[in-house]
Amino acid sequence: MSASVSVIVPVYNVSPFIGDCIKSVMNQSYQGEMECVIIDDGCTDDSMTVLDNFLKDYQGPIHIAIYHHEKNRGLSAARNTGTRHASGKYLFYLDSDDVISTNCIERLMEQTVLEPKVELVQGNAEAIPVKLSASYTRHFPVLYAKSNEEVRFCFYQNRQMPCNAWNKLLKRDFILNNDLFFREGALYEDVLWSFYLMKCLSNVIFVSDVTYYTRFRPGSIMSGTDKLTSAIHYQQIYHEIYKNLTPNNEEEELAFYAKAFANVYIRHGHIMPKLKDVYRLYRDKALEYRMIGGCLRLFICRFLGMYKYGWTVAGIMKRIEHPSRLKDDFERIRYRMR
């Protein structure tokens, strides 16, 4: 069967949430051909039992396909398996503890009818069950980017396109032709994936409607990883990005990723001294381009990263600059105390 759109859902130990996730797919208002590709990434809880019970009585129009990994291989591998098995002209990655709005696929696919050349349709997002004001929902000053230069402006300058793979409707041929698979075995794979994605994209439409609800969940992959492991993966990712900066766009990319790496260094520098090697690369390149602000930021973060509580100091500074983060902190604490 060939579908218009394939929703790809990697599943690993999300028993309390998988029902809501798949239900949100089944309840889509989209009337075209649609499939849901589910990848069991070696679950060790009863996620697949819950899913099987949920699916056994389903008789709707969406084709459900389930593929199994013999052992846990990680989110990247699961997404890649889903991509290879998907038949849809368009792909949509959905994390299995999140949900999508009833009209998500309909709203995003509408744009492909208006502009058949579009390679990516970006929706808006909101956090659940805690509504975080500063993290996910974005303002889209540009609604249609028609060249790689315009796409890069939206990502690197406007910051209106998040690096997350989820909540993006992607043309499947575009992904395959540019070999935009996820780096297997890597954490924070979306950072590296989006870096390579920006090198290729030349046609993007932005939809301001909230189409995706991402779950704030202590104990997820992101929050449950120990700091040394995080530091090792960050070191590898930012070193690779530095080595592959795009000719003629180096300064733009450097400004973006040097800032991101500076935040990583504050949190992990005192744990993993080897991060200093990557720090020197970004610092020297920033000096080469006479990026005074970037150099100053890197220097401050290098200093704070030497100390265990440097991240706390940086957090206080950020909240002075962005008071809305204080509200988010309060909401997170209140949620954890429930």
Q: What is the mean pLDDT of residues 36-64?
A: 95
Q: Tell me: the pLDDT tens digits for 277-296?
A: 999 999 999 999 999 888 88
What are the residues whose beta carbons fall under 8 Å from the beta carbon of 53, sequence distance 6 or more? Answer: none
- Provide the pLDDT for residue 5: 98
Q: Where are the domains of the chain?
A: 5-221, 226-336
Distance, in Å, from the CA atom of 220 to the CA atom of 86, rounded to the nearest integer, reads 26
Contacts of 81 (CB under 8 A, 6+ apart): 39, 67, 69
Averaged pLDDT, 104-124: 97
**What CATH fold (topology level) applies to the domain 5-221?**
Spore Coat Polysaccharide Biosynthesis Protein SpsA; Chain A (3.90.550)
- Range from 30-44, 198-212, 312-326 carrying the lowest mean pLDDT: 312-326
Q: How far apart, in whole angstroms, are the C-alpha atoms of residue 303 and residue 320?
A: 20
Mean pLDDT for the chain overall: 89
107-123: average pLDDT: 97
Range of weakest confidence among 129-143, 206-220, 239-253: 129-143
